[in-house]
Amino acid sequence: MDKREFARRRKKLMDMVDRGGIAIQPTAPERLRNRDVFYPYRPDSDFFYLTGFPEPEAVLVLVPDRPQGEFILFCREKDPEQETWHGRRAGLEGACEHYGADDAFPISDLDDILPGLLENKERIYYTMGRYQDFDQRLVGWLNRVTSKGRAGVHAPDQVHSVGHYVHEMRLYKSREEIKTMRRAAQISAAAHRRAMEVCRPGLYEYQIEAELLHAFMRHGSRAPAYPSIVGAGANTCILHYNENSEQLADGDLLLIDAGCELDHYASDITRTFPVNGRFTPEQRAVYDIVLQAQLAAIAKVAPGNHWNDPHQAALEAITKGLVELGILKGRWRTLLKEEAYRPYYMHRTGHWLGMDVHDVGDYKIGDEWRTLEPGMVTTVEPGLYLSPTIKGLAKRWWNIGVRIEDDVLVTAEGRDILSHGAPKTVDEIESAMQFASVA
Ligand code: GLY
Ligand code: MN
Ligand code: MN
């Protein structure tokens, strides 16, 4: 991402923080996986959104109108021995030169310097509750400033959530962000196609997962955006199944919910297809209902519509479909009002997508569902999960779990389906799988 884009974001936030305010955003801590081995590091999304700075142990401070510079970055100093063992560091000079900081200080000096920056400020912009160790330190710094009251030093007496402001900004994707998200979705769509091509009875779910990861990484993604869900047969009815350990049986469906993260942006795609490449009549009937629901919901993704409109469209199609299948009996309008679909469809139809897979941004403003606007990205992901645990469900429907999920950008004209490259209709899926078995 262009350095100027990070600078634009800081400027926008700084305009909101204004004189008398100070914004503080630490990055995420490293987390131990076992003994002395850490989980792969990923910076805090808000911190990275404002800085582009990838290292752990760093804190962004924005002080509008500070004469010596408004953008301060605390980070690790250069250290040849540490860098030989653990990798390169930008250091204080790099923080200024490559990341645009006006001033950079060693992270080890945070306790000495930060209280001074808080002096005589009126408002702190900081997200409480995300990093509790840091919350404690901030309280300590504030106490230090407060204790200087008799010396005429004024301590800030308001804390606003910086997250609230940054999340509003993150909800509207810029041209560069859309470019990255489109690429992430393309890579993931190609991975889903690849999974369809290699799939056959006898393979294990983790072997399909391996194909997905291979497809992600060879195109520059360093990690999935969330643990991949690769579930066949009964596992299609477990929404967040990710053991991915069972063998694929002839006649079963396979549900894959997997998306890569590319340059800190997520994609999130689900496709469901038959392990042997041919839908049974029951599988096809259920699949087509979910597809109709998904298409109806996607059609409602348009500027001016409300956040909830796609969900309502999906619920209507799902309820009508369940009546058509004979699984629900009665009038669809009544059944919809009674939420009779719930045992079969128990989640919502989408969520914001961005740096985080379940991205930030309010869904309601006051009591009203939010209006969709160009630049927002949402998933559209209805499903039906016909589990044998549902009382009275005829056996022919058992273990048919279907979810179809795409990543959809709201545009001025309507919508743009970023993940369109993954086969989706019954014909597209069967031909992708057939072509592969012949080839
Ligand atoms: N992959 C998680 C979700 O679809 O929300
Ligand atoms: Mn998903
Ligand atoms: Mn999703």
Q: Report pLDDT digits (tens) over 309-327.
A: 999 999 999 999 999 999 9
Enzyme catalytic residues: 36, 240, 257, 268, 347, 351, 358, 381, 385, 403, 405
- 192-354-382-255 Cα dihedral, nearest 10 degrees: 30
Question: Token digits for 429?
Answer: 């899926």
Q: Hey, whose CA ends up nearest to atom 4 of ligand 1?
A: 268
Closest alpha carbon to 313 in 336, 340, 286: 336
Which of 230, 242, 357 has the most ligand 1 atoms within 8 A of CB, as the residue to mutate? 357
- 350-355-359-362 Cα dihedral, nearest 10 degrees: -120
| Pocket lining: 309 vs ligand 1, CB cutoff 6 Å | no
Separation between Cα atoms, residue 190 and residue 186, nearest integer Å: 6
Separation between Cα atoms, residue 369 and residue 179, nearest integer Å: 27
The DSSP H or E segment spanning 59 is strand 59-62
204 SS3 class: strand
- Which pLDDT value is given to residue 437? 61
What are the pLDDT digits (tens) for 164-211?
999 999 999 999 999 999 999 999 999 999 999 999 999 999 999 999
Least confident of 72-81, 190-199, 413-422, 428-437: 428-437
Q: How far is CA 10 from CA 162, 166, 222, 354, 421, in A?
A: 12, 10, 27, 18, 35
- Which pLDDT value is given to residue 3? 94
- Rounded to an integer, the average pLDDT of 222-230 is 98
- Which pLDDT value is given to residue 149? 86
Closest alpha carbon to 165 in 53, 9, 1, 306: 9
- Rounded to an integer, the average pLDDT of 75-80 is 98
Separation between Cα atoms, residue 55 and residue 62, nearest integer Å: 18
67 SS3 class: coil
| Pocket lining: 381 vs ligand 1, CB cutoff 6 Å | yes
- Rounded to an integer, the average pLDDT of 221-248 is 98
Q: Which residues pair with 32 in a beta bridge?
A: 38
Main-chain phi, psi angles of 431, to 5 degrees: -75, -35
The answer to whether the CB of 47 falls within 8 A of the CB of 60 is yes
- Which pLDDT value is given to residue 1? 87
Closest alpha carbon to 131 in 108, 162, 156: 162
Q: What is the mean pLDDT of the chain?
A: 97
Q: 81 exposed, middle or buried (CB, 10 Å; 0-12, 13-18, 19+)?
A: exposed
- Which pLDDT value is given to residue 99? 98
Specify the pTM: 0.96
Q: Cα dihedral sign for 147, 149, 154, 159? A: positive
How far is the centre of ligand 3, averaged over its atoms, from the C-alpha of 406 (Å)?
A: 8
| Pocket lining: 226 vs ligand 1, CB cutoff 6 Å | yes
103 SS3 class: strand
How far is the centre of ligand 3, averaged over its atoms, from the C-alpha of 418 (Å)?
A: 14
How far the first Cα of the chain sits from its last, in Å, is 40
Atom of ligand 1 nearest to the CA of 226: 1
The pairing of strands 37-38 and 59-62 is unpaired
Separation between Cα atoms, residue 360 and residue 166, nearest integer Å: 9
Q: Hey, whose CA ends up nearest to atom 5 of ligand 1?
A: 358
**pLDDT at residue 439 tops 60:** no
**pLDDT at residue 43 tops 80:** yes
How far is the centre of ligand 1, averaged over its atoms, from the C-alpha of 113 (Å)?
A: 42
Atom of ligand 1 nearest to the CA of 225: 1
Atom of ligand 1 nearest to the CA of 258: 1
Which of 405, 406, 408, 419 has the most ligand 1 atoms within 8 A of CB, as the residue to mutate? 405
How far is the centre of ligand 3, averaged over its atoms, from the C-alpha of 69 (Å)?
A: 41
**In the Cβ-directed half-sphere of 150, how many Cα atoms lie within 13 Å?**
1
Separation between Cα atoms, residue 147 and residue 138, nearest integer Å: 14
Separation between Cα atoms, residue 233 and residue 399, nearest integer Å: 6
pLDDT band at residue 435 under the 50/70/90 scheme? confident
Closest alpha carbon to 399 in 296, 254, 288: 254
Closest alpha carbon to 247 in 271, 229, 231: 231
What are the pLDDT digits (tens) for 94-143?
999 999 999 999 999 999 999 999 999 999 999 999 999 999 999 999 99
| Pocket lining: 268 vs ligand 1, CB cutoff 6 Å | yes
**pLDDT at residue 428 tops 80:** yes
